[in-house]
Structure 1
Amino acid sequence: MSGLVVENLRLKELLVVVELNKPFFEEFLTFIKGQGYVNIRALIAESDEAQLEKILNTYFSADFENTLFDGIGRPYPDATSKWFFITWILRDAATQRLAPIVSKTTGRNITEKRIKVICKILAFVEPLLPNEEQWEWPAIAEIMLQRLEGSRRALKGGLFEAIVRDKLKSLFKKHDLKIEVTNKEVKLNDETYDIELIGNNQKILMPVKTRETMGGGHALLFTRDIHKAIAVAEENGFNCIPVVIAESWGGNLDELNCENYIYIQENPNQLDKINPKLEEELEALVSTFAKIE
Protein backbone atom coordinates (compact mmCIF):
# COMPACT_ATOMS: atom_id res chain seq x y z
CA MET A 1 0.00 0.00 0.00
CA SER A 2 2.53 2.57 -1.23
CA GLY A 3 4.69 2.03 1.84
CA LEU A 4 2.13 3.60 4.17
CA VAL A 5 1.93 2.33 7.74
CA VAL A 6 -1.44 0.58 8.00
CA GLU A 7 -0.97 -0.63 11.56
CA ASN A 8 -2.06 1.79 14.29
CA LEU A 9 1.32 2.07 16.01
CA ARG A 10 -0.03 4.73 18.33
CA LEU A 11 -2.66 2.34 19.69
CA LYS A 12 -0.07 -0.35 20.28
CA GLU A 13 2.17 2.01 22.25
CA LEU A 14 -0.71 3.42 24.28
CA LEU A 15 -2.03 -0.01 25.25
CA VAL A 16 1.40 -0.86 26.63
CA VAL A 17 1.22 2.24 28.85
CA VAL A 18 -2.34 1.40 29.92
CA GLU A 19 -1.09 -1.98 31.16
CA LEU A 20 1.75 -0.22 32.98
CA ASN A 21 -0.94 1.73 34.84
CA LYS A 22 -2.93 -1.32 35.92
CA PRO A 23 -0.87 -1.90 39.11
CA PHE A 24 -1.85 1.59 40.29
CA PHE A 25 -5.51 0.72 39.74
CA GLU A 26 -5.09 -2.50 41.70
CA GLU A 27 -3.32 -0.69 44.54
CA PHE A 28 -6.16 1.84 44.63
CA LEU A 29 -8.62 -1.06 44.98
CA THR A 30 -6.59 -2.43 47.87
CA PHE A 31 -6.58 1.02 49.45
CA ILE A 32 -10.37 1.54 49.32
CA LYS A 33 -11.02 -1.99 50.59
CA GLY A 34 -8.85 -1.08 53.54
CA GLN A 35 -11.20 1.86 54.09
CA GLY A 36 -14.22 -0.46 54.22
CA TYR A 37 -15.49 -0.34 50.61
CA VAL A 38 -15.86 -3.53 48.58
CA ASN A 39 -15.22 -1.80 45.25
CA ILE A 40 -14.96 1.60 43.57
CA ARG A 41 -18.69 1.78 42.96
CA ALA A 42 -19.30 1.50 46.71
CA LEU A 43 -16.93 4.40 47.33
CA ILE A 44 -18.59 6.51 44.65
CA ALA A 45 -21.97 5.84 46.29
CA GLU A 46 -20.79 7.26 49.64
CA SER A 47 -23.24 10.06 50.49
CA ASP A 48 -21.47 11.37 53.59
CA GLU A 49 -19.29 14.21 52.28
CA ALA A 50 -17.32 14.45 55.52
CA GLN A 51 -16.46 10.75 55.25
CA LEU A 52 -15.45 11.20 51.61
CA GLU A 53 -13.17 14.10 52.50
CA LYS A 54 -11.56 11.97 55.22
CA ILE A 55 -10.92 9.08 52.82
CA LEU A 56 -9.59 11.37 50.10
CA ASN A 57 -7.23 13.02 52.59
CA THR A 58 -5.95 9.58 53.53
CA TYR A 59 -5.63 8.66 49.85
CA PHE A 60 -3.59 11.74 48.92
CA SER A 61 -1.25 11.26 51.89
CA ALA A 62 -0.85 7.48 51.51
CA ASP A 63 2.42 5.98 50.30
CA PHE A 64 1.63 4.12 47.09
CA GLU A 65 4.21 1.69 45.75
CA ASN A 66 2.99 2.19 42.18
CA THR A 67 2.71 5.25 39.99
CA LEU A 68 0.91 6.26 36.82
CA PHE A 69 2.73 6.69 33.52
CA ASP A 70 2.13 9.37 30.91
CA GLY A 71 1.40 8.94 27.21
CA ILE A 72 4.99 8.06 26.32
CA GLY A 73 5.61 5.85 29.34
CA ARG A 74 7.27 8.26 31.75
CA PRO A 75 6.26 8.03 35.43
CA TYR A 76 4.23 10.84 36.94
CA PRO A 77 5.17 12.18 40.37
CA ASP A 78 3.24 10.58 43.23
CA ALA A 79 0.89 13.52 43.86
CA THR A 80 0.17 13.89 40.14
CA SER A 81 -0.54 10.17 39.81
CA LYS A 82 -3.13 10.28 42.56
CA TRP A 83 -4.79 13.43 41.23
CA PHE A 84 -4.90 12.25 37.62
CA PHE A 85 -6.19 8.80 38.56
CA ILE A 86 -9.11 9.99 40.66
CA THR A 87 -10.16 12.50 37.99
CA TRP A 88 -9.80 9.95 35.20
CA ILE A 89 -12.06 7.40 36.88
CA LEU A 90 -14.57 10.23 37.32
CA ARG A 91 -14.39 10.74 33.53
CA ASP A 92 -12.91 14.21 33.84
CA ALA A 93 -9.82 16.10 32.68
CA ALA A 94 -7.45 17.03 35.48
CA THR A 95 -5.50 19.69 33.62
CA GLN A 96 -7.71 21.09 30.87
CA ARG A 97 -10.97 21.39 32.79
CA LEU A 98 -10.35 20.97 36.49
CA ALA A 99 -7.09 22.85 37.08
CA PRO A 100 -8.72 26.28 36.54
CA ILE A 101 -11.61 25.28 38.82
CA VAL A 102 -9.25 24.09 41.55
CA SER A 103 -7.26 27.33 41.35
CA LYS A 104 -10.44 29.32 42.09
CA THR A 105 -11.59 27.04 44.93
CA THR A 106 -10.97 28.14 48.51
CA GLY A 107 -8.74 25.96 50.66
CA ARG A 108 -5.63 25.95 52.80
CA ASN A 109 -3.60 24.04 50.22
CA ILE A 110 -3.83 22.40 46.81
CA THR A 111 -4.88 19.03 48.25
CA GLU A 112 -7.78 20.53 50.18
CA LYS A 113 -8.93 22.40 47.09
CA ARG A 114 -8.75 19.26 44.97
CA ILE A 115 -10.72 17.26 47.51
CA LYS A 116 -13.51 19.84 47.53
CA VAL A 117 -13.73 19.70 43.75
CA ILE A 118 -13.65 15.89 43.69
CA CYS A 119 -16.52 15.67 46.18
CA LYS A 120 -18.66 17.90 43.96
CA ILE A 121 -17.84 15.82 40.89
CA LEU A 122 -18.57 12.58 42.74
CA ALA A 123 -22.04 13.80 43.65
CA PHE A 124 -22.68 14.68 40.01
CA VAL A 125 -21.23 11.54 38.42
CA GLU A 126 -22.60 8.92 40.86
CA PRO A 127 -26.15 8.75 39.43
CA LEU A 128 -24.85 8.90 35.85
CA LEU A 129 -22.76 5.73 36.21
CA PRO A 130 -24.77 3.39 38.46
CA ASN A 131 -23.36 0.03 37.35
CA GLU A 132 -20.43 -1.72 39.03
CA GLU A 133 -18.85 -2.68 35.70
CA GLN A 134 -18.52 1.02 34.85
CA TRP A 135 -15.95 1.25 37.66
CA GLU A 136 -14.02 -1.93 36.93
CA TRP A 137 -10.71 -2.26 35.09
CA PRO A 138 -11.98 -2.77 31.50
CA ALA A 139 -13.99 0.47 31.66
CA ILE A 140 -11.24 2.39 33.46
CA ALA A 141 -8.67 1.11 30.95
CA GLU A 142 -10.70 2.65 28.11
CA ILE A 143 -10.79 5.97 29.94
CA MET A 144 -7.03 5.80 30.48
CA LEU A 145 -6.52 5.09 26.79
CA GLN A 146 -8.37 8.29 25.88
CA ARG A 147 -6.55 10.43 28.44
CA LEU A 148 -3.15 9.02 27.56
CA GLU A 149 -3.71 9.71 23.88
CA GLY A 150 -4.07 13.42 24.62
CA SER A 151 -1.00 13.29 26.84
CA ARG A 152 0.98 11.44 24.20
CA ARG A 153 0.02 13.88 21.45
CA ALA A 154 1.28 16.84 23.45
CA LEU A 155 4.44 15.06 24.59
CA LYS A 156 5.25 13.76 21.11
CA GLY A 157 5.10 17.30 19.78
CA GLY A 158 7.55 18.38 22.45
CA LEU A 159 9.72 15.37 21.66
CA PHE A 160 10.16 16.38 18.02
CA GLU A 161 10.91 19.96 18.95
CA ALA A 162 13.67 18.68 21.24
CA ILE A 163 15.01 16.38 18.51
CA VAL A 164 15.18 19.21 15.96
CA ARG A 165 16.87 21.51 18.50
CA ASP A 166 19.45 18.87 19.35
CA LYS A 167 20.27 18.17 15.71
CA LEU A 168 20.56 21.88 14.93
CA LYS A 169 23.02 22.35 17.79
CA SER A 170 25.09 19.41 16.56
CA LEU A 171 24.99 20.75 13.00
CA PHE A 172 26.13 24.24 14.01
CA LYS A 173 28.93 22.80 16.12
CA LYS A 174 30.06 20.60 13.23
CA HIS A 175 30.22 23.57 10.84
CA ASP A 176 31.45 26.03 13.47
CA LEU A 177 28.45 28.32 13.03
CA LYS A 178 27.89 30.87 15.79
CA ILE A 179 24.12 30.55 15.88
CA GLU A 180 22.08 30.29 19.06
CA VAL A 181 19.32 27.67 19.21
CA THR A 182 16.85 28.89 21.83
CA ASN A 183 15.07 26.49 24.17
CA LYS A 184 11.86 28.48 24.33
CA GLU A 185 8.92 28.93 22.01
CA VAL A 186 8.41 32.30 20.37
CA LYS A 187 4.98 33.90 20.08
CA LEU A 188 4.24 36.29 17.26
CA ASN A 189 0.73 37.63 16.64
CA ASP A 190 -0.84 34.60 18.36
CA GLU A 191 1.32 32.22 16.32
CA THR A 192 3.77 29.94 18.14
CA TYR A 193 7.16 29.02 16.72
CA ASP A 194 8.84 26.08 18.40
CA ILE A 195 12.44 26.99 17.60
CA GLU A 196 14.22 30.32 17.19
CA LEU A 197 17.66 30.58 15.62
CA ILE A 198 19.55 33.76 16.49
CA GLY A 199 22.54 34.94 14.48
CA ASN A 200 24.37 38.26 14.32
CA ASN A 201 22.47 39.38 11.25
CA GLN A 202 19.03 37.79 11.42
CA LYS A 203 16.69 35.33 13.11
CA ILE A 204 15.02 32.23 11.72
CA LEU A 205 11.76 30.90 13.13
CA MET A 206 11.03 27.19 12.79
CA PRO A 207 7.57 25.77 13.54
CA VAL A 208 7.64 21.98 13.94
CA LYS A 209 4.45 20.31 12.73
CA THR A 210 3.70 16.59 12.99
CA ARG A 211 0.65 14.62 11.93
CA GLU A 212 -0.09 10.90 12.23
CA THR A 213 -3.44 10.65 10.44
CA MET A 214 -4.21 11.68 6.89
CA GLY A 215 -7.72 12.88 6.14
CA GLY A 216 -10.59 14.79 7.68
CA GLY A 217 -11.10 18.35 8.84
CA HIS A 218 -8.03 18.28 11.05
CA ALA A 219 -5.88 17.77 7.95
CA LEU A 220 -7.21 21.06 6.56
CA LEU A 221 -6.48 22.80 9.86
CA PHE A 222 -2.98 21.31 9.83
CA THR A 223 -2.32 22.77 6.37
CA ARG A 224 -3.86 26.11 7.30
CA ASP A 225 -1.69 26.35 10.42
CA ILE A 226 1.47 25.83 8.37
CA HIS A 227 0.52 28.53 5.86
CA LYS A 228 -0.46 30.94 8.62
CA ALA A 229 2.77 30.40 10.56
CA ILE A 230 4.80 31.20 7.46
CA ALA A 231 2.69 34.24 6.57
CA VAL A 232 2.88 35.80 10.04
CA ALA A 233 6.65 35.30 10.23
CA GLU A 234 7.23 36.80 6.79
CA GLU A 235 4.92 39.75 7.50
CA ASN A 236 7.01 40.57 10.55
CA GLY A 237 10.31 40.37 8.71
CA PHE A 238 11.43 36.92 9.86
CA ASN A 239 12.72 34.06 7.77
CA CYS A 240 10.54 31.01 8.40
CA ILE A 241 11.61 27.41 7.81
CA PRO A 242 8.80 25.01 8.75
CA VAL A 243 9.56 21.40 9.64
CA VAL A 244 6.70 19.12 8.61
CA ILE A 245 6.67 15.43 9.55
CA ALA A 246 3.65 13.61 8.16
CA GLU A 247 3.18 10.29 6.44
CA SER A 248 0.66 11.59 3.95
CA TRP A 249 0.07 15.31 3.83
CA GLY A 250 -2.22 16.71 1.17
CA GLY A 251 -0.73 20.20 1.22
CA ASN A 252 0.91 21.63 -1.88
CA LEU A 253 4.54 22.28 -1.02
CA ASP A 254 4.94 24.62 -3.98
CA GLU A 255 2.30 26.91 -2.49
CA LEU A 256 4.24 27.47 0.73
CA ASN A 257 5.25 31.11 0.85
CA CYS A 258 8.79 30.47 2.05
CA GLU A 259 12.12 29.89 0.41
CA ASN A 260 12.99 26.79 2.43
CA TYR A 261 11.10 24.07 4.24
CA ILE A 262 11.67 20.55 5.52
CA TYR A 263 9.09 17.89 4.72
CA ILE A 264 9.72 14.36 5.94
CA GLN A 265 7.16 11.93 4.60
CA GLU A 266 7.12 9.43 7.45
CA ASN A 267 4.79 8.40 10.24
CA PRO A 268 5.87 10.40 13.34
CA ASN A 269 6.00 7.14 15.30
CA GLN A 270 8.94 5.91 13.22
CA LEU A 271 11.84 7.77 14.78
CA ASP A 272 14.36 5.33 13.33
CA LYS A 273 13.38 6.47 9.83
CA ILE A 274 12.88 10.14 10.68
CA ASN A 275 16.19 10.86 12.41
CA PRO A 276 18.54 10.19 9.46
CA LYS A 277 16.25 12.03 7.03
CA LEU A 278 16.04 15.01 9.37
CA GLU A 279 19.82 15.14 9.59
CA GLU A 280 20.08 15.10 5.78
CA GLU A 281 17.49 17.86 5.38
CA LEU A 282 19.17 20.10 7.95
CA GLU A 283 22.59 19.48 6.41
CA ALA A 284 21.22 20.62 3.06
CA LEU A 285 20.30 23.96 4.63
CA VAL A 286 23.72 24.76 6.10
CA SER A 287 24.34 27.55 3.58
CA THR A 288 20.97 29.09 4.47
CA PHE A 289 21.73 28.95 8.18
CA ALA A 290 25.20 30.41 7.61
CA LYS A 291 23.67 33.59 6.15
CA ILE A 292 22.38 34.70 9.56
CA GLU A 293 25.65 34.07 11.41
Structure 2
Amino acid sequence: MRYVFHPESFLMSNIPENIRLKDLVIVANLNKPFFDDFINFLRAEGYAELYDFVVENDSSRAKATIKKYLDRRIPSDLKLYDGIARPYSEDKAKWLLLGWIFRDAPVQRLEGFLKNLSGTPNERKAELLNQVRQYASSVLPDSERWDWLPIFEVMVDRLEGSRRSIKGNLFEEIVRRSLSNIFEENEINLSIDKTQIKIGGETYDVKVSGGQGTILIPVKTRETMGGGHALLFTRDIHKAISVASESGYNCIPIVIAESWTGDLSTLDCQEFIYINKNPNQVNEVEPLLIQKLESLIHVFRALT
Protein backbone atom coordinates (compact mmCIF):
# COMPACT_ATOMS: atom_id res chain seq x y z
CA MET A 1 0.00 0.00 0.00
CA ARG A 2 1.42 3.35 -1.01
CA TYR A 3 1.59 6.04 1.66
CA VAL A 4 0.67 9.54 0.53
CA PHE A 5 2.26 12.32 2.57
CA HIS A 6 -0.02 15.26 3.28
CA PRO A 7 2.10 18.19 4.52
CA GLU A 8 -0.93 20.07 5.80
CA SER A 9 -1.79 17.14 8.10
CA PHE A 10 1.77 17.08 9.40
CA LEU A 11 1.67 20.78 10.16
CA MET A 12 -1.65 20.63 11.97
CA SER A 13 -0.57 17.74 14.18
CA ASN A 14 3.05 18.72 14.92
CA ILE A 15 3.11 22.51 15.19
CA PRO A 16 1.52 23.99 18.33
CA GLU A 17 -1.42 26.28 17.81
CA ASN A 18 -0.41 29.94 17.59
CA ILE A 19 -2.58 31.12 20.48
CA ARG A 20 -1.08 34.61 20.40
CA LEU A 21 -2.04 35.21 16.77
CA LYS A 22 -5.49 33.75 17.31
CA ASP A 23 -6.13 36.05 20.27
CA LEU A 24 -4.87 39.12 18.42
CA VAL A 25 -7.09 38.40 15.42
CA ILE A 26 -10.10 38.05 17.71
CA VAL A 27 -9.38 41.40 19.36
CA ALA A 28 -8.73 43.15 16.05
CA ASN A 29 -12.07 41.90 14.75
CA LEU A 30 -13.73 43.16 17.93
CA ASN A 31 -12.36 46.59 17.01
CA LYS A 32 -13.98 46.66 13.57
CA PRO A 33 -17.26 48.26 14.77
CA PHE A 34 -15.21 51.13 16.22
CA PHE A 35 -13.46 51.50 12.85
CA ASP A 36 -16.80 51.31 11.02
CA ASP A 37 -18.14 54.09 13.20
CA PHE A 38 -15.30 56.33 12.02
CA ILE A 39 -16.07 55.46 8.40
CA ASN A 40 -19.74 56.32 8.96
CA PHE A 41 -18.67 59.62 10.50
CA LEU A 42 -16.55 60.40 7.42
CA ARG A 43 -19.49 59.64 5.13
CA ALA A 44 -21.63 62.05 7.11
CA GLU A 45 -18.90 64.63 6.52
CA GLY A 46 -19.06 64.12 2.76
CA TYR A 47 -16.35 61.49 2.18
CA ALA A 48 -17.58 58.39 0.37
CA GLU A 49 -14.66 56.25 1.54
CA LEU A 50 -11.70 56.43 3.89
CA TYR A 51 -9.41 56.84 0.89
CA ASP A 52 -11.21 60.03 -0.15
CA PHE A 53 -10.48 61.52 3.24
CA VAL A 54 -6.86 60.35 3.27
CA VAL A 55 -6.11 62.10 -0.05
CA GLU A 56 -8.06 65.26 0.81
CA ASN A 57 -6.14 68.21 -0.67
CA ASP A 58 -7.86 70.80 1.50
CA SER A 59 -5.71 70.55 4.62
CA SER A 60 -7.92 72.89 6.64
CA ARG A 61 -11.01 70.82 5.90
CA ALA A 62 -9.25 67.57 6.79
CA LYS A 63 -7.93 69.00 10.06
CA ALA A 64 -11.38 70.31 10.97
CA THR A 65 -12.83 66.87 10.25
CA ILE A 66 -10.30 65.20 12.54
CA LYS A 67 -10.98 67.75 15.27
CA LYS A 68 -14.72 67.19 14.95
CA TYR A 69 -14.24 63.43 15.27
CA LEU A 70 -12.04 63.83 18.34
CA ASP A 71 -14.67 66.08 19.94
CA ARG A 72 -17.54 63.80 18.97
CA ARG A 73 -19.05 61.38 21.48
CA ILE A 74 -18.77 57.73 20.50
CA PRO A 75 -21.87 55.52 20.95
CA SER A 76 -21.62 53.93 24.39
CA ASP A 77 -21.75 50.37 23.04
CA LEU A 78 -18.64 50.85 20.88
CA LYS A 79 -15.18 50.18 22.32
CA LEU A 80 -11.62 49.92 21.07
CA TYR A 81 -9.76 47.12 22.84
CA ASP A 82 -6.11 46.67 23.73
CA GLY A 83 -3.98 43.55 23.20
CA ILE A 84 -5.70 41.60 25.98
CA ALA A 85 -9.22 42.83 25.14
CA ARG A 86 -9.51 45.60 27.73
CA PRO A 87 -11.36 48.69 26.48
CA TYR A 88 -9.44 51.92 26.06
CA SER A 89 -10.94 55.16 27.32
CA GLU A 90 -12.89 56.97 24.61
CA ASP A 91 -10.38 59.79 24.10
CA LYS A 92 -7.43 57.42 23.90
CA ALA A 93 -9.34 55.06 21.61
CA LYS A 94 -9.99 57.79 19.03
CA TRP A 95 -6.37 58.96 19.18
CA LEU A 96 -5.06 55.42 18.74
CA LEU A 97 -7.45 54.51 15.95
CA LEU A 98 -6.51 57.50 13.80
CA GLY A 99 -2.82 56.98 14.46
CA TRP A 100 -3.06 53.33 13.45
CA ILE A 101 -5.09 54.13 10.34
CA PHE A 102 -2.37 56.56 9.24
CA ARG A 103 0.27 53.84 9.87
CA ASP A 104 1.92 55.52 12.83
CA ALA A 105 2.56 54.79 16.51
CA PRO A 106 0.48 57.25 18.56
CA VAL A 107 1.96 56.39 21.95
CA GLN A 108 5.54 55.51 21.08
CA ARG A 109 6.19 58.22 18.49
CA LEU A 110 3.48 60.84 18.11
CA GLU A 111 2.78 61.79 21.71
CA GLY A 112 6.25 63.27 22.03
CA PHE A 113 5.45 65.82 19.33
CA LEU A 114 2.23 67.09 20.92
CA LYS A 115 4.06 69.25 23.45
CA ASN A 116 5.56 71.27 20.59
CA LEU A 117 2.12 72.32 19.33
CA SER A 118 -0.24 74.93 20.71
CA GLY A 119 -3.96 74.81 21.42
CA THR A 120 -6.32 72.53 23.29
CA PRO A 121 -5.44 68.82 23.51
CA ASN A 122 -7.77 67.95 20.63
CA GLU A 123 -6.53 70.89 18.54
CA ARG A 124 -2.96 69.70 18.95
CA LYS A 125 -3.91 66.12 18.14
CA ALA A 126 -5.85 67.23 15.06
CA GLU A 127 -2.91 69.28 13.80
CA LEU A 128 -0.46 66.43 14.25
CA LEU A 129 -2.74 63.71 12.88
CA ASN A 130 -3.48 65.83 9.83
CA GLN A 131 0.23 66.13 9.11
CA VAL A 132 0.59 62.38 9.52
CA ARG A 133 -2.40 61.87 7.18
CA GLN A 134 -0.77 63.99 4.50
CA TYR A 135 2.49 62.10 4.76
CA ALA A 136 0.82 58.68 4.76
CA SER A 137 -1.21 59.56 1.66
CA SER A 138 1.99 60.40 -0.22
CA VAL A 139 3.70 57.17 0.81
CA LEU A 140 0.64 54.95 0.29
CA PRO A 141 -1.23 56.56 -2.62
CA ASP A 142 -3.16 53.45 -3.75
CA SER A 143 -6.79 53.18 -2.67
CA GLU A 144 -6.53 49.48 -1.79
CA ARG A 145 -4.16 50.42 1.05
CA TRP A 146 -7.05 52.12 2.83
CA ASP A 147 -9.60 49.32 3.12
CA TRP A 148 -10.34 47.42 6.33
CA LEU A 149 -8.04 44.46 5.60
CA PRO A 150 -4.73 46.40 5.51
CA ILE A 151 -5.88 48.48 8.48
CA PHE A 152 -6.75 45.23 10.26
CA GLU A 153 -3.19 43.95 9.70
CA VAL A 154 -1.73 47.17 11.10
CA MET A 155 -4.04 46.84 14.09
CA VAL A 156 -2.90 43.28 14.79
CA ASP A 157 0.70 44.49 14.78
CA ARG A 158 -0.05 47.39 17.14
CA LEU A 159 -2.09 45.16 19.44
CA GLU A 160 0.80 42.72 19.67
CA GLY A 161 3.02 45.52 20.98
CA SER A 162 0.29 46.49 23.43
CA ARG A 163 -0.11 42.88 24.54
CA ARG A 164 3.63 42.42 25.07
CA SER A 165 3.84 45.54 27.21
CA ILE A 166 0.78 44.60 29.24
CA LYS A 167 2.02 41.06 29.84
CA GLY A 168 5.37 42.34 31.04
CA ASN A 169 3.74 44.80 33.41
CA LEU A 170 1.34 42.11 34.60
CA PHE A 171 4.10 39.80 35.84
CA GLU A 172 6.00 42.74 37.28
CA GLU A 173 2.97 43.46 39.46
CA ILE A 174 2.52 39.78 40.32
CA VAL A 175 6.15 39.59 41.50
CA ARG A 176 5.80 42.79 43.52
CA ARG A 177 2.56 41.67 45.15
CA SER A 178 3.82 38.15 45.85
CA LEU A 179 7.02 39.40 47.48
CA SER A 180 5.04 41.81 49.63
CA ASN A 181 2.86 38.95 50.88
CA ILE A 182 5.84 36.66 51.46
CA PHE A 183 7.71 39.34 53.42
CA GLU A 184 4.67 40.08 55.56
CA GLU A 185 3.96 36.42 56.30
CA ASN A 186 7.60 35.77 57.25
CA GLU A 187 8.13 39.06 59.11
CA ILE A 188 10.88 40.19 56.76
CA ASN A 189 11.30 43.96 56.89
CA LEU A 190 12.25 44.97 53.35
CA SER A 191 11.05 47.71 51.03
CA ILE A 192 9.81 47.08 47.49
CA ASP A 193 9.89 49.97 45.04
CA LYS A 194 6.56 50.62 43.34
CA THR A 195 8.09 51.40 39.95
CA GLN A 196 10.83 50.15 37.65
CA ILE A 197 14.32 51.59 37.89
CA LYS A 198 16.98 52.11 35.23
CA ILE A 199 20.68 51.50 35.75
CA GLY A 200 23.23 51.74 32.97
CA GLY A 201 20.53 51.72 30.34
CA GLU A 202 18.96 48.52 31.71
CA THR A 203 15.47 48.38 33.20
CA TYR A 204 14.84 46.41 36.37
CA ASP A 205 11.21 45.70 37.09
CA VAL A 206 11.42 45.16 40.84
CA LYS A 207 13.85 46.58 43.40
CA VAL A 208 14.02 45.08 46.90
CA SER A 209 16.03 46.98 49.51
CA GLY A 210 17.11 46.33 53.08
CA GLY A 211 19.73 47.42 55.57
CA GLN A 212 22.29 44.99 54.15
CA GLY A 213 21.84 45.58 50.45
CA THR A 214 19.61 45.63 47.39
CA ILE A 215 18.37 43.00 44.97
CA LEU A 216 17.32 43.93 41.44
CA ILE A 217 14.82 41.69 39.67
CA PRO A 218 14.39 41.90 35.89
CA VAL A 219 11.29 40.02 34.74
CA LYS A 220 11.76 38.60 31.25
CA THR A 221 8.85 36.97 29.41
CA ARG A 222 8.59 35.57 25.92
CA GLU A 223 5.83 33.65 24.18
CA THR A 224 7.91 32.02 21.42
CA MET A 225 11.59 31.12 21.40
CA GLY A 226 12.54 30.68 17.75
CA GLY A 227 14.96 32.56 15.53
CA GLY A 228 17.11 35.61 16.14
CA HIS A 229 14.69 37.12 18.63
CA ALA A 230 15.42 34.22 20.99
CA LEU A 231 19.12 35.10 20.86
CA LEU A 232 18.33 38.74 21.63
CA PHE A 233 16.13 37.62 24.52
CA THR A 234 18.98 35.56 25.99
CA ARG A 235 21.47 38.37 25.43
CA ASP A 236 19.19 40.82 27.24
CA ILE A 237 19.08 38.53 30.27
CA HIS A 238 22.88 38.29 30.42
CA LYS A 239 23.24 42.05 29.99
CA ALA A 240 20.78 42.83 32.79
CA ILE A 241 22.74 40.58 35.16
CA SER A 242 26.08 42.04 34.06
CA VAL A 243 25.04 45.68 34.49
CA ALA A 244 23.57 44.99 37.93
CA SER A 245 26.74 43.21 39.04
CA GLU A 246 29.00 45.97 37.73
CA SER A 247 26.88 48.51 39.63
CA GLY A 248 27.29 46.59 42.89
CA TYR A 249 23.85 45.00 43.08
CA ASN A 250 22.73 41.42 43.47
CA CYS A 251 20.46 40.35 40.61
CA ILE A 252 17.80 37.64 40.53
CA PRO A 253 16.40 37.39 36.99
CA ILE A 254 12.97 35.88 36.49
CA VAL A 255 12.57 34.20 33.11
CA ILE A 256 9.13 33.02 31.99
CA ALA A 257 9.43 31.42 28.57
CA GLU A 258 8.40 28.10 27.11
CA SER A 259 11.30 25.98 25.82
CA TRP A 260 13.93 28.63 26.42
CA THR A 261 17.22 27.31 25.05
CA GLY A 262 19.50 29.50 27.16
CA ASP A 263 22.10 27.77 29.32
CA LEU A 264 21.11 28.52 32.91
CA SER A 265 24.55 27.52 34.17
CA THR A 266 26.15 30.40 32.25
CA LEU A 267 24.13 33.07 34.03
CA ASP A 268 26.48 35.20 36.11
CA CYS A 269 24.32 35.13 39.23
CA GLN A 270 23.82 32.75 42.13
CA GLU A 271 20.03 32.76 42.07
CA PHE A 272 17.52 32.91 39.26
CA ILE A 273 13.97 31.79 38.55
CA TYR A 274 13.08 30.02 35.34
CA ILE A 275 9.52 28.92 34.59
CA ASN A 276 9.13 26.79 31.49
CA LYS A 277 5.66 28.05 30.60
CA ASN A 278 4.06 30.35 28.07
CA PRO A 279 3.50 33.67 29.90
CA ASN A 280 -0.03 33.73 28.49
CA GLN A 281 -0.84 30.90 30.91
CA VAL A 282 -1.06 33.30 33.84
CA ASN A 283 -3.17 31.00 36.02
CA GLU A 284 -0.55 28.26 35.72
CA VAL A 285 2.49 30.51 35.97
CA GLU A 286 1.52 32.55 39.04
CA PRO A 287 1.46 29.72 41.63
CA LEU A 288 4.77 28.38 40.28
CA LEU A 289 6.27 31.84 40.52
CA ILE A 290 5.12 32.26 44.12
CA GLN A 291 6.55 28.86 45.01
CA LYS A 292 9.94 29.74 43.53
CA LEU A 293 10.00 33.13 45.26
CA GLU A 294 9.26 31.43 48.58
CA SER A 295 12.25 29.14 48.02
CA LEU A 296 14.45 32.26 48.06
CA ILE A 297 13.29 33.54 51.45
CA HIS A 298 16.77 32.99 52.89
CA VAL A 299 18.26 35.23 50.20
CA PHE A 300 15.85 38.07 50.91
CA ARG A 301 16.17 37.66 54.67
CA ALA A 302 19.92 38.23 54.35
CA LEU A 303 19.18 41.81 53.26
CA THR A 304 17.66 42.75 56.62
TM-score, length-normalised on structure 2?
A: 0.89
Residue equivalent to 2:162: 151
Greater shift after overlay, 167-176 or 153-162?
A: 167-176
- Is contact 2:182–2:294 with CA below 8 Å preserved after alignment? yes
Residue equivalent to 1:32: 42
- Is contact 1:5–1:267 with CA below 8 Å preserved after alignment? no
Give the % identical residues. 44
Residue equivalent to 1:191: 202
Residue equivalent to 1:76: 88
Residue equivalent to 2:235: 224
Partner Cα distance (1:228, 1:112) in 2: 43
CA displacement at 1:128 relative to structure 2: 4.0
- Is contact 1:160–1:208 with CA below 8 Å preserved after alignment? yes
Aligned mate of 1:139, from 126, 146, 150: 150
CA displacement at 1:139 relative to structure 2: 2.2
Letter in 2 for 1:142: E
- Is contact 2:64–2:126 with CA below 8 Å preserved after alignment? no
Residue equivalent to 1:102: 114
Partner Cα distance (1:123, 1:238) in 2: 50
CA displacement at 1:127 relative to structure 2: 4.4
Partner Cα distance (1:292, 1:69) in 2: 42
Partner Cα distance (1:291, 1:159) in 2: 27
1:138-194 per-position Cα deviation (integer Å, ceiling 9, x unaligned): 222111101111111111111110111111112112212112222111222222111
Query: Structure 2: 5+ residue runs without aligned partners?
Result: 1-13
Matches within 5 A, 1:1-293: 6-65=16-75, 66-104=78-116, 106-293=117-304
Partner Cα distance (2:181, 2:68) in 1: 49
- Is contact 2:71–2:122 with CA below 8 Å preserved after alignment? no
Q: Residues 33, 246 of structure 1: CA spacing in aligned structure 2 closer, same or farther, 3 A cutoff?
A: same
Partner Cα distance (1:126, 1:237) in 2: 52
TM-score, length-normalised on structure 1?
A: 0.93
Letter in 2 for 1:216: G
- Is contact 1:189–1:232 with CA below 8 Å preserved after alignment? yes
Query: Structure 1: 5+ residue runs without aligned partners?
Result: none
CA displacement at 1:130 relative to structure 2: 4.2
Please, what is the CA RMSD of the aligned residues?
A: 1.9
Number of matched pairs = 290
SS at match of 2:255: strand
